[in-house]
Every structure is written in structure tokens, then in C-alpha cells.
A = this chain, B = another copy of it.
């Protein structure tokens, strides 16, 4: 509904024309490759392909379409990944549609537009977890048992327990469930 409403509103603007609306990342990618729009306004959490995946693919394909991420989530993890994909904007859904239109114009002029919340927030607490720890915690978050994880990663169950203990300590929480919440909230897994 937000997509439709924004589509209509932006189309009302003299200098903006909405040429397509996609309902997921895959569709967005197709449209971009077919229609070569100047700008693509994209959410992150979408079915089939996330907005970040689309941005990354476009970057490797050397697309000239300027990507503006428009999402609810100010997660540092998302933001950082978007920066790596060299998006032209990362805005939050709590602004007004007028501000959005103005940001689109600025991006067309070559500027980059980032929600101020993110720039301050990007002095962020960085992820204290190692790659292995993240891997383990991700599996734990999926409800896997120590045994399942150990055989998936070819480690002993004792090692898995050590990792969990380490993770719980690092995140300064009291059990795996809090560890999962905290890590997900901070975008660390």
C-alpha cells in the first residue's frame, strides 16, 4: 500500500515520473534492466530478493541506475552493507513524502542522501562476534541443537558450547535467547 501511495504521489510531481512498481527484489531487478530508470527507490526486506541483494547485483553489473534504499530499519548492519553497495541514498520511512521527493531530486543532481539518524548511529558499536561465533549463533537462532550444529560445522558439541558461552559473555546477556535478541537487534547476525 505504501508503494502504491508513494507511486501516485511522486507521479504527481512535475519533474518525477514513476515508470514501474515492483513487488519484490527480483521484479525490481528485471524492471531496472528493461527500463533503465534514473532512480530506483527500494525497500530492504522484500520477498525472493532483498533490496540489498539487488543493490549489490546492480553494482557488479555496473548499472547506472541510482539506488535509494527506503526502509523502516536503521540497523547498522543494513546501513553498512548498503554503503558497500554504493547506494545513493538510505532513508527511513518516517520522513514525509515531500522530503522524499526532495531527496530524489538531490540524488539526481549527484548528491547522496542519508538519514541523519544513521550517520550518527554509524559511529556504531561494532560487531564483537567472530565469523564462527556468528555462524553458531545464527544456527542456534534457527532452533538447532548443539548436536545438529556440531555436525553441520564439523565441530564437537563441546566446542559449540564454548562458543555459546563466549557469545553470551561478549554480548553481556544471561542466556542464548537474550543473545539472539540482542544480536538480531544490532544486526550482528
Contacts and interface: CB of A to CB of B under 8 A. Distances in A.
Interface string A153-189: 0000000000000000000011111101100000000
A96 interface: yes
A2 B177 CA distance: 33
A118 to B, nearest CB: 16
A152 interface: no
A8 interface: yes
A62 interface: no
Q: How many copies does the complex hold?
A: 2
A1 interface: yes
Contacts of A97: 1, 4-5, 8
B143 A96 contact: no
Nearest to A140: B177
A125 interface: no
A29 interface: no
Q: Which of A1, A9, A94, A100 has the largest count of B CB atoms less than 10 A from its CB?
A: A1
Interface in A86-126: 93-97, 100
Contacts of A174: 143, 145
Nearest to A93: B1
A175 B148 CA distance: 13
Contact of A175 (B1, B5, B145, B175): B145
Q: Closest 9 A-B residue pairs measured CB to CB?
A: A143-B178, A5-B5, A1-B93, A143-B177, A2-B2, A5-B97, A4-B96, A5-B9, A5-B6
